[in-house]
């Protein structure tokens, strides 16, 4: 083979490999699904499983939040779809919401999921047109989750028990 061809193809392959290594260090994927999904989304071939997503929505609307998250995780194993991540965060919010207090662990996970959804959305703006929800944008959901994590005097307000879950 001609030397320039070897050098040229070797250079291209090395730069591509170096880009993959740099991407791995930058994004810190935790599972093989996240690695493959990340590469697929870079080349634009990543797709959410529609059946699993529909299952997730059905569980979500039936207040079966653990089952909903399992189905949504199956629909978006690489955590690359902003809408699915929005529903994951919403499932954490609804499960963690309480009249007397909210579950900080679930709200913390919800905040991480909605941050992921915002990071994935184009321009950081995400709106979901779902009549079942009372918060349609990721910003509202994020603010609600953050309010739930903050401890202040309003936590001791007895009128809090009259509040409603969104």
Partner 1 sequence: MSAAREAVLLPLIFLTVTLLAGVQLGPGVAFVPPSLFALVLGTMLLAALVRAGALAPDRLLHGSRSMLANANGMVVLVSLFGAASQVLAMLTPRSGLPLFFIDVFLFVLLVNTLVAQPDRVRLLRSLAVILGSALVLKFVVLAALSGPSGSRTARVLAALFDAATFGTITQEPQAPGAGYLAFFAIGLFLIGVGALPAARPYTGGAGLQTIPPR
**Interactions with partner 1, residue window 13-42 (CB under 8 A):** 13-15, 17-18, 21, 24-25, 28-31
**Interactions with partner 1, residue window 50-69 (CB under 8 A):** none
Q: What are the φ/ψ torsions at residue 101 (nearest 5 degrees)?
A: -155, 160
SS3 of 130, please? coil
| Paired residues of 137 in beta bridges | 127
Minimal distance, residue 110 CB to partner 1, in Å: 20
Minimal distance, residue 28 CB to partner 1, in Å: 6
- Both tokens of 17, joined, read 């490999």
Per CB under 8 A, 165 contacts partner 1 = no
What is the DSSP secondary structure assignment for residue 155, as one 8-state letter? Answer: G
**Interactions with partner 1, residue window 99-138 (CB under 8 A):** none
- Both tokens of 101, joined, read 């207090």
Minimal distance, residue 16 CB to partner 1, in Å: 10
| Paired residues of 127 in beta bridges | 137
Contacts of 57 (CB under 8 A, 6+ apart): 68, 87
What is the DSSP secondary structure assignment for residue 108, as one 8-state letter? Answer: H
Per CB under 8 A, 9 contacts partner 1 = yes
Spatial contact of 84 and 72, defined as CB atoms under 8 Å apart: yes
Minimal distance, residue 4 CB to partner 1, in Å: 6
Q: Which is nearer to partner 1, 8 or 124 (CB)?
A: 8
Q: Which is nearer to partner 1, 9 or 146 (CB)?
A: 9
Spatial contact of 93 and 128, defined as CB atoms under 8 Å apart: no
Minimal distance, residue 156 CB to partner 1, in Å: 37
Binding site for partner 1 (CB under 8 A): 3-4, 6-11, 13-15, 17-18, 21, 24-25, 28-31
């Amino acid at each position: 083979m001609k030397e320039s061809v070897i050098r040229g193809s070797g250079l291209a392959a090395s730069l591509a490999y170096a880009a993959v290594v740099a991407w791995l260090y930058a994004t810190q994927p935790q599972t093989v699904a996240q690695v493959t999904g990340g590469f697929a989304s870079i080349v634009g071939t990543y797709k959410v499983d529609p059946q699993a997503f529909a299952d997730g929505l059905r569980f979500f609307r039936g207040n079966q939040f653990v089952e909903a998250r399992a189905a949504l995780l199956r629909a978006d194993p690489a955590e690359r779809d902003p809408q699915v991540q929005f529903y994951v965060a919403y499932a954490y919010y609804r499960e963690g919401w309480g009249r007397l207090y909210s579950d900080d662990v679930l709200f913390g996970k919800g905040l991480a999921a909605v941050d992921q959804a915002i990071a994935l959305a184009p321009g950081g703006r995400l709106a979901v047109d779902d009549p079942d929800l009372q918060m349609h944008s990721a910003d509202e959901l994020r603010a609600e989750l953050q309010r739930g994590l903050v401890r202040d005097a309003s936590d001791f307000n007895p009128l809090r028990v009259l509040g409603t879950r969104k």
